[in-house]
């Protein structure tokens, strides 16, 4: 069975600080996808990044960066120079590739509530 753990329930930092959100996953598959989503107060889940299990390169997108390490089954998310608009709940999710074809649901972590104080 697959599982995603986000141990940090809530993080509060002051604007302009860097912050890292942790994500640890469990899966028996060798082929899978990992995702991060942002959920602002409006409720809609906003897609941030998708990473497949064969690609361990770290990725940077503006102030966002992701560190994928298969050896520790982690896919951590760092926001550099945080801003108030980054305040939201962030979810890490896992999808196992269904080799027979077709769709598969995402397994989500419980989310980390990030609060950026001005």
Question: Where on the chain is the footprint of other proteins (CB under 8 A)?
Answer: 4, 31, 33, 35, 37, 42-47, 50, 91, 95, 97, 99-111
Whole-number minimum distance, CB 31 to other proteins, in Å?
A: 6
Looking at the Cβ atoms of 30 and 72, the one nearer to other proteins is 30
Q: How far apart are CA 57 and CA 53, in angstroms?
A: 10
Strands 88-96 and 112-117 turn out to be: antiparallel
Cβ(46)–Cβ(37) below 8 Å: yes
Whole-number minimum distance, CB 24 to other proteins, in Å?
A: 14
Q: Other CB atoms closer than 10 Å to residue 72's CB: what's the count?
A: 10
Whole-number minimum distance, CB 109 to other proteins, in Å?
A: 6
């Amino acid at each position: 069975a697959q599982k995603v753990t986000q141990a940090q329930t809530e993080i509060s930092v002051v604007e302009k600080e860097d912050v890292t959100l942790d994500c640890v996953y469990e899966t028996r598959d060798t082929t899978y996808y990992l995702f991060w989503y942002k959920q602002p107060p409006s409720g809609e889940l906003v897609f941030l990044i998708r990473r497949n299990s064969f690609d361990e390169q770290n990725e940077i997108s503006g102030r966002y960066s992701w560190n994928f390490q298969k050896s520790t089954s982690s896919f951590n998310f760092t926001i550099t120079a945080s801003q108030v608009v980054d305040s939201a709940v962030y979810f890490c999710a896992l999808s196992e590739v269904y080799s027979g074809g077709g769709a598969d649901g995402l397994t989500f972590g419980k989310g980390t509530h990030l609060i950026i104080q001005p």
